[in-house]
Homo-oligomer: A and B are copies of this chain.
Amino acid sequence: VEPGSAAWWQQRAADADRPRRPRADGLTLDRILDAALELVDEDGLDGLTMRRLAARLDCGHASLYRHVAGHDEVVVLLVDRVLGSIRFDGPVTSDPRAMAERALRSYRAALLEHPKLTPAFLAGQLLGPNALAGRESALRLLVDAGMPPALAVRAYLTLTHFVIASAAFESSGAARTAGERATMRRYFSGLPAREYPTLVGLADELNAVDADDEFELGLQALLDHLEVLARAAAPARTPR
């Protein structure tokens, strides 16, 4: 069974019900994941290695397999751990759009705290307990706001996919430092002008895009569109 798949999570939940064997050493799944997240933050997903992880925890690398099935499982668990770190700030309001915006920005902030982990959010469906808790409350919000179930599901998936993708592009592609931006500008303005007249002319604009701006543009576009669809689906809704 593939780590992260529905069948895998199901089996894992069943195993959790069985009594845990005590561990003699100080090694814990929590400690392993802490160290793994540090490793990813510092050196990226490629830097997350069972052997380097063991070195950081001062144990033989084979010992990790007592607590974890393998490398892929560590990544899957890291993803759900970060999903569990999402903290919704601000008060509960009766405006569903404002609450959705806040929730999605919290989601985005949690992802950007561990930028090098973002590719892992795209590798498979998110089916861990924290992912499910988020799905549950988000869908509840949308359904309670009067959205037909099918549209609520489409809205949830579209919006969360957008948040993840936006963070992934931002953290793995964007030129962030001033030096990187200067290199990029030089690259575009140095292209053969006969072949790429537009790119040469737009060299400045091509490096002036702000990731937050792009996120907000897409977010508002999707929310506007979904609101229109929601109104069309449930036109006769009286305000309370």
Interface residues of A (CB under 8 A from B): 6-7, 9-10, 119, 122-125, 127, 132-133, 135-136, 139-140, 143, 149-150, 152-154, 157-158, 161-162, 164-166, 168-169, 172-175, 183-184, 186-187, 190-191, 195-199, 201-202, 205-206, 208-209, 213-214, 217-218, 220-222, 224-226, 229
Contacts and interface: CB of A to CB of B under 8 A. Distances in A.
B154 A209 contact: yes
B122 A187 contact: no
A197 B231 CA distance: 25
Main secondary structure of the interface of A (DSSP, over half): helix
A158 B214 CA distance: 7
Nearest to A174: B125
Copies in the complex: 2
Contact of A209 (B127, B157, B166, B224): B157
Contact of A202 (B149, B202, B214): B149
A6 to B, nearest CB: 4
A139 B202 contact: yes
A110 to B, nearest CB: 18
A225 B220 contact: yes
A135 B199 contact: yes
B6 A187 contact: yes
A59 to B, nearest CB: 27
Nearest to A6: B187
A196 to B, nearest CB: 5
A136 B135 CA distance: 40
Given A132-B199, A136-B198, A161 B166 contact: yes
8 contacts: A10-B190, A123-B173, A136-B199, A153-B205, A153-B206, A154-B213, A165-B168, A217-B225
